[in-house]
Each structure stands twice: as C-alpha cells, then as structure tokens.
Structure 1
Amino acid sequence: MSATSPTSVFAQAQALGEEALRAAVLDTAAALLAAEGPAALSMRRLAAAAGCSTTVLYRLFGAKDGIAAALYREGFARLRRRLDAVPSDEDPAAYLAALGRAYRANALEEPNFYSIMHGEAIPGFTPDEESRAAAAASLDVLRRAARACVEAGVLRADADVDEVTDTLWAAAHGVISLERGGHFPAGLGEERFRTLTRAAVTAFLA
C-alpha cells in the first residue's frame, strides 16, 4: 500500500468530498492508461500514482473491473454534463448545432476518457447493461433537440428521431476520430466537423 503525500491527488481531492475523490482517481487512471497502456491499470500502480492506499481503491471501485466500468461511465457522465450546459436556443436548428460543437469540444478536451468510451483502450472490458444505459442516456439531450427540429418543421415530419440522433452521433464520432488521429491538416478539424455533420443533417431536412 502507498503512503499518502500531502500533495498527492488523493490528499487534494479528499478534502473536497467523496465525489471529487472518485473523479480525481479516475482522472489519474485514465491518464495512466493513455500513457502506459492497459498494464498500468493495476491497483498497486494506480494507488502509487494517486498517492493513496489500495484499500481506498477497493472501497471506491471494488476491483480492477470496477475501475474499468467506472472509467466508462465517468466518460459519458462528463459528456452529459457538457451537453446539458449548452444554453437552449429559440432556433432548434441552432441549438442542435451548438450541441454538436459541445460534443466535439468534450472529445478533444477529455481525450483519455473518449478513448475508453469509444475504443479498445481496456482489452477484454465489455460494458454491462447499466453502463450502456448510462451511455445512451448521455445523448438524451441530443435526442430531444432532434425531436424539437422535427416538431418545428426543420426536419421531415416522418424523420425517426432515434435515426437522426444515431446518424449525427456516428458522423461526429467518425470525423473526431480522424481529427484525433492527425489525418487533417492543422486547424481544419472544426471545418471538417461542420461539413460532415451538416451533410448528415441534409438527409433529414424537410
């Protein structure tokens, strides 16, 4: 077990409460995973990096599989908070576009979590039903915005809201993945994002 340093992640977050502590440890775990690969996601390695004991980790997450599930759910929880923070707009199309920009910003600002949410960052990890439900719920705000566009006549009256949501999500994820992989010239990621997401919306225009 690891001794607690006054300046450790654990010591700093502990003073802010259980939720802050949990989030700080998950930040450390996601950074370790990105920097060192899946082998770094062990209780001892994470405890050393966070400056806490393995006992604390077992209390917070159960076991190693619990950390993987918590990382997955935390990524989508952060996305949900980012989307919920987008101010609503009287123009439903403008609001839908703003949500798309917020999705991209979250992906670029939380790259470690994004890789866990949408990739094979943790080999062998399969989200359970509860985790997948939490992931789906993170897109409820996007689904409501798509429905508002249908009701306002921006999108076709017969457009399936779930299909609209899934299509926009797939388009956004695809272009963000290419941007994160360095496949676009510097500075053109946002432009490519706008072009592809607008093209995806075109299929459903009234």
Structure 2
Amino acid sequence: MLSTVSPRVADPNVRTALVETAARLLAEQEGLTIRRLAHEVGTSTMAVYTHFGSMEDLRRAVRLEGFARLAAHLDAVERSRDPVADLSALGWAYCFNALANPNLYRVMFLEAPIDAEEAESGGATFAPVVAAVQRCIDAGRFTSCDAWSLAVQTWTMVHGMVGVVLAGVFGPDEMLGHLSTMTVSLYVGNGDSRAAAVRSLARARRRMEPHAPIKRSDGAAEFERPRIQNAAP
C-alpha cells in the first residue's frame, strides 16, 4: 500500500518574516545568505526554498512586497472634492509608507536596479499620482504643466525628502514641515494660488496626520497621531 504524503504548504507568516528579515539584512548591508536568513527567522533553509526558488527570487520578492505596501498606502487615500488636497495626501501616504517600512523602502530604490517585473509594479504605484495631477489640471488649479511632468516633480520631491529622513538628516516632524513649504511652492509655480494651495494642504494634513507612523520603544512603527509642529497651517 502506497502512503500519501501531503505537499509542503508554504506558511504565509513565515514568508512575511523571511521577506522583512531579508529586507533588513539588505538595507543594513549585513550580508544576505540563505543560511543566515533561515537562522535569523528561526526556520530551515528548506523553508526559504519552499517560498523562494533562489536568492534572485528572494530579492525580487522583497522589492515586490515593498511596492505592494506602497500601493496599499496610496490606495487608502480616498478621493475628495479637492483634487489638490488628494494629491497632497498621496504625498503624505508615500512618506508614511517609507517611515513604516524603512528597510523595504531602501531595498526598493537603493539596493540594486529593478528589473522589468519590478518596474511594472513601481509604475502601478506612480499611476495614481499622474491621475491626481490630471484632476488638478482639469479643475483649473494647475495651468502651466502637463500631468506626467508635475507627477515626476512631485514624486522626486517627496522621494528626496524621505531619503534624507532615512539617512537621519531630518526627523519626521522636520520632514513634514519642509515638505509642506516645498509643496506649496511647487503648486504655486504650476498655476495654483498660494491661498488655495495652503488650504488644500491643510485639508490633506487633517486627513492624514492620524495615520502617521511613529516609533514605539521597541523600534517598530505604529500608527498614531504625531506632534507635527512645523507643517504649514
């Protein structure tokens, strides 16, 4: 009589732990190996291969997880009647994702060039920004730009500020203060009035502040209302 062996089932909790630990090792340049990853997670090397066929697949999975979490943050921004506030809220969501997932963020953009599959996932997270800018143009708020160009300017502004925060140059409060100032200047430079830009940014701030990540004593991120002192009113 032949015995039936159940196929190995990949535990999603183990997969998440493997991805997050791999992201930390890559971001901290600690040297990522299958054996070390398995040891740090407290599992076997076979478990790593059960989830990821190779080291290349593992690195790709880390980046794709980073883009998936970014997409989730952006998708959570609901559309309102103020398209400029919505665009600003997307910028805040981008920042909050990076602060909540700093290791994944570093691997997404700083560890190595992305491949075609990763570029497709990254492009999907950029599409909402382009669409939000187009709504601002259609509403007559921005008059001296095209949607793609201003979306690129917006993304690079936020991305650059996140980079200096993750490098420890600024704290999150300082980041949001400087980012608010730059955002108003960018909007005004593309046709919005300063008063309207400040009002929209204030609306975005009220919507997004309750979801800002702060650090607990154990170093993990949680979502609570921070004390943001330098943001534009």
Letter in 1 for 2:115: D
Choose from 144, 148, 153 the match for 2:131: 144
Alignment correspondent of 1:78 = 69
Choose from 114, 129, 140 the match for 2:105: 114
Alignment correspondent of 2:114 = 127
Q: Is the 8 A contact 2:67 2:121 kept in 1?
A: yes
> What TM-score do the two structures reach when normalised by structure 1?
0.81
CA deviation after TM superposition for structure 1 residue 143, in Å = 1.6
Residue 159 (1) aligns with residue 145 (2): yes
Indicate the percent of aligned positions where both proteins have the same amino acid: 34
Alignment correspondent of 1:104 = 95
Letter in 1 for 2:88: A
State the aligned residue count.
185
- Give SS of 1:142's match: helix
Choose from 188, 202, 205 the match for 1:202: 188
Alignment correspondent of 2:78 = 87
Q: Is the 8 A contact 1:30 1:113 kept in 2?
A: yes
Q: Is the 8 A contact 2:165 2:172 kept in 1?
A: no
Moved over 6 A (4+): none
CA distance in 2, matches of 1:146, 1:20: 37
Q: Which consecutive residues of structure 2, in runs of 5 or more, have no partner in the other structure? A: 1-8, 193-233
* Structure possessing the higher radius of gyration over alpha carbons: 2
Give the RMSD, CA atoms, in angstroms: 2.2
CA distance in 2, matches of 1:148, 1:58: 45
Choose from 171, 174, 194 the match for 2:160: 174
- Relative to structure 1, the CA distance from residue 199 to residue 18 in structure 2 (aligned partners, 3 Å threshold; closer, same or farther) is farther
- Give SS of 1:138's match: helix
Q: Is the 8 A contact 1:175 1:193 kept in 2?
A: yes
CA distance in 1, matches of 2:107, 2:182: 24
Alignment correspondent of 1:192 = 178
Choose from 8, 11, 33 the match for 2:26: 33
Q: Which consecutive residues of structure 1, in runs of 5 or more, have no partner in the other structure? A: 1-14
Q: Is the 8 A contact 2:27 2:107 kept in 1?
A: no
CA distance in 2, matches of 1:127, 1:191: 31
Q: Is the 8 A contact 1:71 1:113 kept in 2?
A: yes
Q: Is the 8 A contact 1:73 1:134 kept in 2?
A: yes
